Structure 1
Amino acid sequence: MQDGNNGKTIVRYAMEYGIYFGLFLIVKFLITTQSTKFIALNVLAEILFVSIPFVLYYLMKMYRNKEKGRVGFVHLWTFGIFLFFFASLLSGLVQYVFYQYIDPLYLEKQIAALLDMLAMLSNQQGSEFLQMMREGLEKGGAPTAIEMVYQTILSNVFFGSLLSMLLAWIMRSRKLKINTLR
């Protein structure tokens, strides 16, 4: 939908607001990666994760207000999908730099820690499955930086689409139908 005043399309709005949402996702990512070193950041990372629907709601509301309330369910949902896509592209760039250059062993360390925790929880240190997973990790079974970024972008867009669908349904414009009897 285009606004008669400035001619912006839904994609243009999503790109503009996607910068802000992308910066939010970058901060969330950086705090999450540092929460392994500083335990106090775990709480902040969880708060940022839980606040994603509220940030999305705020951005969708700003878009709806810019369009003077003339948007319906499909427009809001589409805006949310585009918003997650553009924000994920921006945060994916930072994730790639982090995984590839800043801490190349981050993913391997996280997978190894997950396997250790799984072994501890299952009380089976010598489990055949866990042993196979450890061998695979030692042979380079961890995803590369670009694979991880690609997977993150796809999952952000998928789950963002579901969240946008829910919020778009809540925010859709409701037109009252008045039945008059004559």
Structure 2
Amino acid sequence: MKYLLLAFLSLSLLSCTPKKKEYFDFDEIDHYSITISDLEIMEINRDTLRSKLDSLKSKIVGYNTPVNMSDLSFIDKLEEMGFQKTSIDTSKFATIKNIFTEKEYTSGESTSCEPYYRDILIFKKQNKVIGTAKLCFDCMKSQIHGTTANTKNFGENGDFRKLIEVLKNKK
């Protein structure tokens, strides 16, 4: 009887562990990346006579654009701004889903650098954009839109290192 009670308690405790929520339910991911130096970004930001396209590039790379999921018109202009588009192979989706999942707070580490978002992931489901993630691998900062999951701890547990391996490995 003791063993039965112990087994019941163990199963009860295990079933109470909350499942971590994935950020997105996707069937396609587009990765946009741009090779641009910090100096080039600063020059664009200082140029008072910059074009509309350079102004948008400045907002995308250095600021909070998009601000929400209704602000997706920038996607059609990314390649015109110099971003290179790559479709992520479906064989990498399980790893990416694991990275884009709610995390427990573990480190409390923070960087003080100014993020420049040179990588953008566009998550889609049935050809419809359902989420975006702007990423700065230098500062390990992100701007994620389109999820109800808690994204505050994105980057914990080596997420950026894992994501670099997935995105840069063309296999």
Q: TM-score of the superposition, structure 2-length normalised?
A: 0.25
Select the structure of larger CA radius of gyration. Answer: 1
Say which structure is richer in strand. Answer: 2
Q: TM-score of the superposition, structure 1-length normalised?
A: 0.24
Say which structure is richer in helix. Answer: 1
